[in-house]
Chains A and B, each alone.
Chain A
Amino acid sequence: MKKLINKVESVLSEQLLGMSAAHPELRVNQEPVFVTRSAGPVAGKVAILSGGGSGHEPMHCGFVGEGMLDGACPGEIFTSPTPDKIYACALVVEGSAGVLLIIKNYTGDALNFEAATEWLHDSGIPVATVLVDDDVAVKDSLFTAGRRGVANTVLLEKLLGAAAVRGDDLDALVALGHKINNQGHSIGIALGACTVPSTGKPSFVLADDEMEFGVGIHGEPGIERRPFTTLNQAVDMMFQTLIEHGPYQRTVRVWDRQQGIWCDEPQSKQALVRGDRVIALVNNLGTTPLSELYGVYHRLAECCTEAGVNIERNLVGSYCTSLDMQGVSITLLKVDDELLSLWDAPVKTPALRWGH
């Protein structure tokens, strides 16, 4: 393993120190580790807080700023943050209107954020959660921990951040969050594995004519290994999976603020259909050159045109990565005029900024 790091143990703190030096508008708290806006909480606005393992940069710390996140809790690399960190960060960002926690559906993230939610509730802080589970590679939630939360998290954080600035309260944000989550779908492939510093070795090995299809963002292999021939073949497979996955029912664990308990709520994901308007995200999983991402976007746009799906906005670049994984994910989020206006609202963060 050859990486630009000093010691495995100090990767996170050194990188965060660099981030805060580069972006004075962010404040990095060291003990425990979390990132907030230097300007402090916005009175009367719901604070939006996200987090998860490190190694997905710029997600989530790079999305802290005006119009998006108020705080981010990075864990160790690929390891979710602990509840005490999330709790401490929430206390700092809370501006009297409560805290919304955005949770990617990975077991570790769910368990730690659930514990933090209970602690915040017990301390009298209004708290709500939105779970993201957009990875259509995972087919059957009965036999898995459910679909993973991947790159649609970025789109959801932007849209909910804008809605919080608009003045939405906690309940309205939860409802909007469920809608966005149920309308967004992602699929990822890997042409090569990433190397986690602590193990020092690639997490899997692929031949030149193979790809891992349906990967998540923690270096794990995909749902299956498939042959790889060309860009078009790979994007076509991804697009087919996105368009064919159909409606999807599952129960989502939702925090009931009044009773202070977790409830199972049945929710349904919408399928993409002809005539849908979407935001398209072509996301680098780590070491894919930007030129290749544009190649992917070119083919994706052709696929969308053929299927009668209209791309209204797009993002192409590194937003939700998996260290140095060679691969790409595609996210299609169905939008309406309201979501588009939230998308176009000003945002000012290290990794996403427009409208200023």
Chain B
Amino acid sequence: MALSKQQVLDWLLRCSEVFAREQVFLTQLDTAIGDGDHGLNMNRGFNKVAEKLPSVADGDIGSILKYTGMTLLSHVGGASGPLFGTFFIRAAQVANAKQSLELSELRLVFQEGVAGVVMRGRAEPGDKTLCDVWWPVLGSLGQSVQQQINVIPALQQAAACAEQAVQTTIVMQARKGRASYLGERSIGHQDPGATSVMLMMKTLAAVVEEAG
């Protein structure tokens, strides 16, 4: 079974609901180690994405992802705008002309996206960034591809992996972004950007599961 274009659209629309709902929570996380605008910014960005998605729904998955990335880049600001925006813009390159994505293709799409994030932000493992969730997710998806697991359990596993990975950011000392200025005081706090990645993965798993 493959991920359909409709499921991609549903995922992005659902993300806007999730970020609206989790805005306060994300902002609380960011207030502890940043400047308390992450939830606000993600909500503003995905709100715009949802507003504009219908106008690009006729395109292929690549153009939908690219549009999402450009919209996030132009409306989020801060570090999250370029990082989440670049993720979708780079991911779009390998989803060009696709109307559906096999699990192996979806993994490739995410892998390209993450490569874009790393190119922009230069994160390394353990820096306490959103990549500390993306990397385990890529690992989990890679394993599922190898074991030829179906897309629904594969995404459930990836989402569970993201939940676990976000917990590991709590004990890390931030070495990138604004939290890095707090030094050891950043230890003990969950990373807001990493939490947003986890929310996106959980939302994708839920959307695909419901479509069944």
List the A residue with the shortest CB-CB distance to B129: A107
**A82-B181 in contact (CB<8A):** no
Alpha-carbon gap, A218 to B177, bound state (A): 12
- A84 adjacent to chain B (CB < 8 Å): yes
Known: A111-B83, A112-B77, A115-B73. A78 touches B35 (CB 8 A): yes
- A143 adjacent to chain B (CB < 8 Å): yes
Interface size class of A (residues with CB under 8 A): 35 or more
- For A286, list chain B residues within 8 Å (CB): none
- For B78, list chain A residues within 8 Å (CB): 53, 75, 79-80, 108, 112
**A76-B27 in contact (CB<8A):** no
Alpha-carbon gap, A145 to B86, bound state (A): 19
SS class of chain A's interface: helix, strand, loop or mixed?
Answer: loop
**B183-A199 in contact (CB<8A):** no
Write the B58-69 contact mask toward A (1 if CB under 8 angstroms, else 0).
000000000000
**A77-B185 in contact (CB<8A):** no
Among A219-227, A270-278, A290-298, which stretch is in contact with chain B? A219-227
- For B82, list chain A residues within 8 Å (CB): 83, 108, 111-112, 114-115
Alpha-carbon gap, A201 to B176, bound state (A): 25
**B40-A108 in contact (CB<8A):** no
Write the A74-114 contact mask toward B (1 if CB under 8 angstroms, else 0).
01111111111100000000000000000000111001101
- For B83, list chain A residues within 8 Å (CB): 111
**From B35, B76, B80, B176, contact of A196 by CB (8 A):** B35
List the B residue with the shortest CB-CB distance to A199: B36
Alpha-carbon gap, A46 to B73, bound state (A): 27
Write the B125-169 contact mask toward A (1 if CB under 8 angstroms, else 0).
000000000000000000000000000000000000000000000
User: Chain A's nearest CB lies how many Å from the CB of B122?
Assistant: 9
- For A143, list chain B residues within 8 Å (CB): 173, 175, 180, 183
**A216-B77 in contact (CB<8A):** no
Known: A82-B76, A111-B82, A111-B120. A198 touches B36 (CB 8 A): yes
- For A32, list chain B residues within 8 Å (CB): 74
Known: A107-B121, A144-B175, A148-B181. A219 touches B76 (CB 8 A): no
B37-96 contacts to A (CB < 8 Å): 37, 40-41, 73-83, 86
- B21 adjacent to chain A (CB < 8 Å): no
**A198-B75 in contact (CB<8A):** no
B170-191 contacts to A (CB < 8 Å): 173, 175-178, 180-183, 185
- For B178, list chain A residues within 8 Å (CB): 106-108, 145, 216, 218, 220
**B41-A203 in contact (CB<8A):** no
**A84-B73 in contact (CB<8A):** yes
Alpha-carbon gap, A78 to B36, bound state (A): 9
- A138 adjacent to chain B (CB < 8 Å): yes
- For B175, list chain A residues within 8 Å (CB): 143-145
User: Chain B's nearest CB lies how many Å from the CB of A323?
Assistant: 10
List the A residue with the shortest CB-CB distance to B78: A108
- For A145, list chain B residues within 8 Å (CB): 175-178, 180-181
- B31 adjacent to chain A (CB < 8 Å): yes
**A84-B74 in contact (CB<8A):** yes
- For B73, list chain A residues within 8 Å (CB): 82-84, 115
**A203-B36 in contact (CB<8A):** yes
Known: A79-B78, A145-B177. A219 touches B36 (CB 8 A): yes
**From A76, A106, A223, contact of B183 by CB (8 A):** A223
Of the listed residues B31, B80, B181, B182, the one surrounded by the most CB atoms of chain A closer than 10 A to its CB is: B181
**A75-B180 in contact (CB<8A):** no
List the A residue with the shortest CB-CB distance to B175: A143
**A111-B182 in contact (CB<8A):** no
Write the A128-148 contact mask toward B (1 if CB under 8 angstroms, else 0).
000000000110000111001
- B113 adjacent to chain A (CB < 8 Å): no
**A82-B34 in contact (CB<8A):** no
Alpha-carbon gap, A106 to B73, bound state (A): 17
- For A76, list chain B residues within 8 Å (CB): 37, 40-41, 77
Alpha-carbon gap, A80 to B178, bound state (A): 12
Alpha-carbon gap, A81 to B75, bound state (A): 9
What would 13 A/B residue contacts be, using CB atoms closer than 8 Å? A78-B37, A79-B37, A81-B77, A84-B73, A111-B120, A111-B121, A143-B183, A144-B180, A145-B181, A148-B181, A198-B36, A216-B178, A220-B34
Q: With contacts A83-B82, A108-B82 known, what are 16 further pairs, Cβ within 8 A?
A: A32-B74, A53-B77, A75-B77, A79-B78, A80-B78, A80-B79, A108-B77, A108-B79, A108-B81, A111-B79, A115-B73, A143-B175, A144-B175, A144-B181, A203-B36, A220-B181
| A-binding residues in B (CB < 8 A) | 27, 31, 34-37, 40-41, 73-83, 86, 120-121, 173, 175-178, 180-183, 185
7 interchain residue pairs of minimum CB distance: A111-B82, A144-B180, A108-B78, A108-B79, A79-B77, A107-B79, A218-B35
| B-binding residues in A (CB < 8 A) | 32, 53, 75-85, 106-108, 111-112, 114-115, 137-138, 143-145, 148, 196, 198-199, 201, 203, 216, 218-221, 223
